[in-house]
Amino acid sequence: MTRLEPRHEIECVETVRACLAGKTTVEITGGGTKRGIGHRVQADATLSMRGMTGILSYNPAEMVMTAKAGTPLAEIEAALADKGQMLAFEPPDYRALLGSSGEPTIGGLFACNLSGPRRFQSGAARDHLLGLRVVNGRGEIVQAGGRVMKNVTGLDLVKLMAGAFGTLGLMTELTFKVLPRPETSASLILSGLDDEAASAAMAKAMALPLEISGAAYLPESCKGRFLTGALPEGAAVALRLEGLAFSVSERMAKLKAAFERLCPLSELGREESQALWREIRDIKPFHADGLERPIWKVSVAPMAGEKLLSMLRMQTGVDGYYDWQGGLVWLRMEAEPEADLLRAGISHVGGGHATLVRATASQRDAIPVFEPQPPALAALTERVRTSFDPMGLFNPGRMTGPAASARAA
């Protein structure tokens, strides 16, 4: 397959125009670490953004950074750490989960709109994206948003690009906000609760004025797969506090007091807490299973997560754990994705959506990886896509599958 690797924005424009003239479809890649998410792309060439690297501007006082799309995420995070700042939405690393290699890039991160355990407090990745430059399917440069947090021009377009998986255009430059890194963190572990009691405990914790930045439930079947050795026996609810040391200490005392009569409690210090939440963020329990066991990312109402998993356990082989106060459920199926069963269950517990994050190539071709849209919304989505990319050059089939892509062509 032909490999295209522009190194400047004008080369991106020239490359897209050449593809348009030759009716050449392209698979846009950064580090290639998330190619396993979505349907398989059926393209004539690969358009790599690895040559588009570099931090263009960074103002720690204004908490804003601008970087080229192919800049490695590690480079971004190192520059922020040097100034005591961070990407607050806690970007996950799915390489071990997907069996991929390479270096994640800032463009790929925002293209997939990936967020970690702090998402329910700090917002999704797209909420931190302030502006971007993108080459559309006509070979035109489009700029949206700005480099300051108060600039709201073009925010709708900015948010539209985040989560489009590269199907709307070729992002070349991104501007995003950053936040101060917490001085310290700690986690309270509630032990021995079943799924229903754990959901109630997380709801109670989140109702307290304690600024909890992480709330997850690890059933006993999953907990043993975490590397963190400090967790006690049995299922565990993990509640994270972050901030200044004195504030974390005071809030931890109040959090303990709220649950001291419910179940055994234990506390993780800074290093143990950070290690645990990295593993929750990166889906550590399901790393060793191989691609033959499908993994779903399911978003439902926080109190509906345990109902969904309990229902599925009675009908099929499934395991899982909860993040985002139970509003995010990571599910591992034994063999088949069971898409119809899962989506029927989601509807039964009040609605939500499911994304097939890991599966074999044949499974990704056969079922809707992303939540199917109602016909009217699907038609609107297609009109938006064709307005940006009328010839269908970018990542054909990534969001819709090969059959739908062929019909559109």
Token representation of residue 350: 């009040």
Give pLDDT tens digits for 29-56.
Answer: 999 999 999 999 999 999 999 999 999 9
- pLDDT, average across residues 1-9: 92
pTM of the predicted protein model: 0.92
**Residue 223 — very low, low, confident or very high, per pLDDT cuts 50/70/90?**
low
C-alpha torsion 386→390→391→397, nearest 10? -10
- Distances, alpha carbon 87 to alpha carbons 103, 115, 129, 130, 141, in Å: 17, 10, 11, 13, 27
- pLDDT, average across residues 52-66: 97
The CATH code of domain 284-366 reads 3.30.70.340
- Asked whether 47 and 57 are in contact (CB, 8 A), the reply is no
- pLDDT, average across residues 289-296: 86
pLDDT confidence of residue 220: 85
Task: Share the mean pLDDT of the chain.
Answer: 92
CATH 3.30.70.2190 maps onto the chain at 184-281
- Asked whether 192 and 88 are in contact (CB, 8 A), the reply is no
Instruction: State the DSSP string of 298-356.
Output: EEE-GGGHHHHHHHHHTTS-EEEEEEGGGTEEEEEESSS--HHHHHHHHHHTT-EEEEE
Give the whole-number percent of the chain exceeding pLDDT 90: 86
pLDDT confidence of residue 227: 63
Which is it for strands 2-4 and 45-48: parallel, antiparallel or unpaired?
parallel
CATH 3.30.465.10 maps onto the chain at 2-180+387-408
CATH 3.30.70.340 maps onto the chain at 284-366
Residue 272: is its pLDDT beyond 60? Answer: yes
- Between 178 and 157, residue with greater pLDDT: 178
Give pLDDT tens digits for 367-394.
Answer: 999 999 999 999 999 999 999 999 999 9
Residue 152: is its pLDDT beyond 90? Answer: no
- Asked whether 213 and 251 are in contact (CB, 8 A), the reply is no
**Residue 224 — very low, low, confident or very high, per pLDDT cuts 50/70/90?**
low
Residue 68 φ then ψ, to 5°: -70, 155
Q: Write down the H helix ranges in 95-182.
A: 95-98, 106-112, 119-122, 155-161
Give pLDDT tens digits for 159-211.
Answer: 899 999 999 999 999 999 999 999 999 999 999 999 999 999 999 999 999 99
Residue 311: is its pLDDT beyond 50? Answer: yes
pLDDT confidence of residue 230: 66
- pLDDT, average across residues 126-133: 94
pLDDT confidence of residue 289: 77
Q: What is the DSSP letter of 371?
A: P
Residue 65: is its pLDDT beyond 70? Answer: yes
Residue 407: is its pLDDT beyond 50? Answer: no
**181-195, 267-281, 288-302: range with lowest mean pLDDT:** 288-302
pLDDT confidence of residue 229: 63
**2-11, 111-120, 229-238: range with lowest mean pLDDT:** 229-238
Residue 76: is its pLDDT beyond 90? Answer: yes
Of the CATH numbers 3.30.465.10, 3.40.1710.10, 3.30.930.10, 3.40.50.1860, which one belongs to the domain with range 2-180+387-408? 3.30.465.10
Residue written as token pair 């463009």:
107
The CATH code of domain 184-281 reads 3.30.70.2190
Radius of gyration of the CA atoms of the chain, in A:
22
- Asked whether 162 and 125 are in contact (CB, 8 A), the reply is yes
